[in-house]
Structure 1
């Protein structure tokens, strides 16, 4: 997955990041910084995108 590629995230994670991003922007944070912080928050809370592949969680 290339940096910035959000294909591996669930729709719920994408909505959550958008909501967090809007909150940061309302507080005066730039769009780019708000987006970075939002995805960092989603990653911390949910552990990143969808997991897959053979042997995962074993």
Structure 2
């Protein structure tokens, strides 16, 4: 998957990112920086795109 490809994210993650981006723009952050920060924030919260497979680590 090429860098920047958002196809592995769920619709919910994409909606949340758009909402986060709006918040940054209201604070006066430039559009491109707001987009970058919004995706970084979503990755921090959710751990990235869709996760599948039986070998995934489970945090308890």
**Number of residue pairs matched by the alignment:** 57
Unaligned stretches of 5+ residues in structure 2:
none
Q: TM-score with structure 1 length normalisation?
A: 0.89
Separation of aligned partners in 2, 1:14 and 1:56:
26
Q: Following TM superposition, where does structure 1 have runs of at least 4 consecutive aligned residues deviating by more than 6 angstroms?
A: none
Q: Root-mean-square deviation (CA), in Å?
A: 1.3
The answer for the alignment partner of 2:10 in structure 1 is 10
Q: Please give the TM-score of this superposition, normalised by the length of structure 2.
A: 0.86
